Amino acid sequence: MAVEEQLYSDIPPTKLRNKEEKFKPAKTSRFWLWVASMFFFNMLQNRFYAFRYRGAENYFDGDTKVPTILFAPHCNWWDGIVFYNITHRIFHKEIRLMVEELNRFPLLRRGGAYSVNKKSPQSAMKALQYSVDVVGDLRNMLCIFPQGIIRPPHFRPIEFQTGLAYIAQNAVKRYGRVNLIPVAIDYCFFRDNRPEVIVEFGKRIELSSDMRLDRKELTHMFEHALEYVCNNQFKEISQGDITKYNILFKQHLKWYRRIEQRLKSIDLPPVSGV
């Protein structure tokens, strides 16, 4: 009898492997960003029926000259690719994304990823300090999975490590202000044979230098903000309410789905009783 692998662990991969890995910053270029943009968009189009999103005005209606951090739960392999398309195709920015075990996927640096080694606090601190550096460059948009490990879909309660609060506090000290936007990401089957990507941007959290919140208080604030937008999204999806979403892409129906839709539109005569 086959033994199922353990899908989720409370221990980060770099701690499990216990290997020293040097910090590696993002290393982008115009050519590689173009390659990554085409490649990651095509990956989504090949696997998903549609990509729906809403709430982008929570970024555009604010001061776009203020550094912005997006943060979301992390439940599967697609999350980083979704984040890439959010930053490039919705907000028109370069992504900066912290990736554990980046040495196994070195080309991701060309798309905007940088490494984090959680083997020790000292190693992880390099990635956090780099995050503060890059968030100030307004060509970038920093994207964070603050739970620190992959959790099952819809895992509750949402609990963060303190890395996001550290980045936010130090970004405020350096730049005066910083905005954070919680992002709910879900993958759902509706009426098609392929799933859809559903993204909702929550209300903008504006931090400034006159706010006096410690790291623990900030962490709880961010946890509650993300849990609220995720719960709201889940409620609307469970009711089939996706009419308020913008569409990044939507596939044409397959031939057999077109036949099904055509048959449904035919008015059949009523069957008389015997």
**pLDDT tens-digit map of 23-63:** 999 999 999 999 999 999 999 999 999 999 999 999 999 99
What is the residue range of 126's domain?
13-147+155-264
Q: Detail the DSSP E strand segments found in the chain.
A: 50-54, 68-71, 94-100, 113-116, 140-144, 177-188, 196-201, 205-208, 246-250
In a domain, 36, yes or no: yes
Domain of 159, CATH number, reads 3.40.1130.10
Q: Tell how strand 140-144 and strand 113-116 pair up.
A: unpaired
Question: At residue 266, does pLDDT exceed 80?
Answer: no
Token look-up 């000259």 returns 65
6 falls within a domain: no
In total, how many domains does the chain have? 1
Cβ count near 271 (within 10 Å)? 6
What is the rounded average pLDDT for all residues in the chain? Answer: 90
7 inside domain: no
